[in-house]
Amino acid sequence: MGEVMETLSEHRISAAAPVVFLIVVAFQFVYRWLEQLKKRGPKTAEETRLRREIKELLKEASSLSQPSTFAQAAKLKRMATSKEKELANYQELHGKEIKGSYDLYLKVLFISKVLTYLVLVCWFWRVPVASISQQLVQPFGKVISWRAGGVLNGNVMVGIIPWLILSTRVSKFVCRLFKF
């Protein structure tokens, strides 16, 4: 009977660690993705049209390099400048609305992340999430096994809070590594 309980406990430990890690990584990637979208902002059809017109006007103005076409080139450059101002006004007007919606998404993501972490902490409060060889975590064994049961068969039982902290740090490192 004792062996069956120990096997079930080991199976729960082996399944819990990767699941918790994947949840943390998913939250980290979604957060970084939303941050990048917020910085870049979406391209609308109007923005694309204005950029294309500006590019065409500047290209046409640069092709007019003769002294006899100077006035026409200057006129095209002024038109391009006015289109650039129009684009800047459009981006300023619509950019605030879009960034506000991304802020809302980021707040919802943060709240769902906090709630998910609270559920995980309650679910695995006194249950070990993973086991690591005691030799690997020699000076930190007690800190890592906080609220999880200490040492069993030469392995340190890792609690949920240290596992969440470790998973968060690793996921941030992975995001930076992949430049995401």
How many angstroms separate the CA atoms of 34 and 40, rounded? 10
Mean pLDDT of 62-88: 84
Cα–Cα distance measured from residue 180 to residue 168, given in angstroms and rounded to the nearest whole number: 15
Number of independent structural domains in the chain: 1
Q: Residues in the chain, how many?
A: 180
Q: What is the pLDDT of residue 148?
A: 56
Q: pTM here? A: 0.63
* Spatial separation of the C-alpha atoms in residues 28 and 166, rounded to whole Å: 13
pLDDT, tens digit, 9 for 90 and up, residues 25-52: 999 999 999 888 877 766 777 888 888 8
Helix (H) and strand (E) counts in the chain: 5, 3
> pLDDT tens digits for 99-138?
677 888 899 999 999 999 999 989 888 777 877 777 766 7
**Domain limits for position 82:** 2-177
Sheet with 155-158, strands from edge to edge, namely 130-133, 155-158, 151-152
Whole-angstrom distance, CA of residue 39 vs CA of residue 180? 13
pLDDT score at 51: 86
